Amino acid sequence: MADKKGILYNEAAKAYFYGDCVSSIEPYGGGHINDTFLARTEKGNFVLQRVNGYVFPHPDEIMDNMVHVTKFLAEKLEKAGKDPKRGTLTVLKTNDGKDYYIDSEGNYWRSTINLENTTAYDFAESPEMLKKSGAAFGAFQNMLSDYPAETLHEVIPHFHDTPARFEQLMQAVRENKAGRLKNVAAELEFAKARETDCGLLMNLLEEGKLPLKVTHNDTKMSNVLIDNATGDAVCVIDLDTVMPGLAAFDFGDSIRAGASTGAEDETDLTKVHFSVPLFKAYTEGFLGEAGKALTETEIRTLPDGAKLMTFEVGIRFLADYLNGDVYFKTKYPQHNLDRARNQFHLVAEMEAKRDETQAVVDTYL
């Protein structure tokens, strides 16, 4: 059977739980990319998920990355005397021993053990929670520091290639598909003034001064499960975008949202500030776990990662606005432009407070 969206979750469930009593299957979580369900069975609760084939045209590569990385993490956790079924996602096999199921319409499905008594928060409710999310992503970075990153599939090519993102903006300017170019003079001036900054991290990678690492690439608060009883971080989830990258990418993506005092579409920029105390809280968690696995150059360039990831998202919002809002979902015509202005405002504050953030990370050298 399929629901009204045509999602064959019952067919997929039988591929995993045939012979087990499945009492219910219901929508689960707040993700916007994949279709996620909670399957309650006599053997426990499991997450059943259909991979979005539009966003990820090669689901088999995603699953290959996910299976190998979670197996590697489980072995590390077990050696450390920790519960591997609590500290990382556990990918279930189908009834015929495969890592994923392809339904009758060609959709890819996977299933993982549901981590009970945990919560995924959209935003950190305190600096301490932000610090714990930093510790979770830092531990993720640390445990995978000796994983051969080059063996992973690049599931979204050039995902954090800031120079390429800047060129996409320039193409949007040249084409002016939505006729909105006249509205963005100040924003374009801001972006063009920082074009030379775009290649900073990628150049260091090409020069061999920054190592290629396994990166998560979606290090938002909601991708860390928090224990309901202790408040501690339990596990990093949503491993679709795990691929080769730079530690500064993951750090910077967290800081972009985590150290801002406002939502990314807040239009009153007097409410939007880059908070050094929040930056410090996250850094304490992240480097407290990952510090020994990072080189001196990696640590020194973490503030660059924060600025570049924020700038990159800003130019993506701006390009999408010029293209007619074809990628990011919007609620009103100027939504993407407001988002871009918000991110550029944060970039400017990060630049103004660079000495302070550099002092924070330098204490770990």
Q: What is the pLDDT of residue 7?
A: 67
Task: State whether CATH 3.30.200.20 applies to domain 9-115.
Answer: yes
Q: What is the pLDDT of residue 138?
A: 98
Q: Give backbone dihedrals phi and psi of 27, rounded to 5 degrees, phi first.
A: -55, 145
Say how far apart CA 49 and CA 42 lie, in whole Å: 19
- Identify each DSSP E strand in 5-139 by its residue range: 22-27, 35-41, 44-50, 101-102, 108-113, 118-120
Q: What is the pLDDT of residue 282?
A: 99
Q: What is the pLDDT of residue 19?
A: 66
* pLDDT means over runs of 10, the chain (365 residues): 60 85 86 88 92 91 98 98 97 96 95 97 96 98 98 94 97 99 99 98 97 97 97 97 97 98 97 98 98 96 99 98 94 98 99 99 97
How many other C-beta atoms can be found within 10 angstroms of the C-beta atom of residue 89?
23
User: Is 230 within 8 Å of 287 (Cβ atoms)?
Assistant: no
Say how far apart CA 294 and CA 203 lie, in whole Å: 18
Query: Interior CA angle at 120 toward 275 and 238, to 5°?
Result: 100
Say how far apart CA 181 and CA 192 lie, in whole Å: 14
User: Is 221 within 8 Å of 187 (Cβ atoms)?
Assistant: no
For the chain, how big is the Rg over CA atoms in Å? 21
The burial class, CB within 10 Å (0-12 / 13-18 / 19+), for 240 is buried
Asked if 9-115 and 127-362 have one fold, the answer is no
**Structure-token match 């293209």, residue found:** 323
Cβ neighbours of residue 284 closer than 8 Å, sequence gap 6 or more: 131, 134
Q: What is the pLDDT of residue 4?
A: 39
How do the residues of the chain divide into helix, strand and coil, expressed in percent and rounded to 5? 50, 15, 40
User: Is 199 within 8 Å of 163 (Cβ atoms)?
Assistant: yes
Nearest to 172 by CA among 187, 156, 160: 187
Q: What is the pLDDT of residue 8?
A: 84
Q: At 210, which amino acid appears? A: L
Model pTM? Answer: 0.94
Say how far apart CA 212 and CA 208 lie, in whole Å: 9
Q: What is the pLDDT of residue 54?
A: 85
Where do the structural domains in the chain lie, given as residue ranges? 9-115, 127-362
Query: Chain centroid to CA 49: how far?
Result: 18
Q: What is the pLDDT of residue 291?
A: 86
Buried b (16+ CB within 10 A) or exposed e, 152-169: bbebbeebbbbbebbebb
Q: What is the pLDDT of residue 1?
A: 44
Report the CATH number of the 127-362 domain.
3.90.1200.10
Say how far apart CA 71 and CA 89 lie, in whole Å: 9
User: Is 130 within 8 Å of 282 (Cβ atoms)?
Assistant: yes
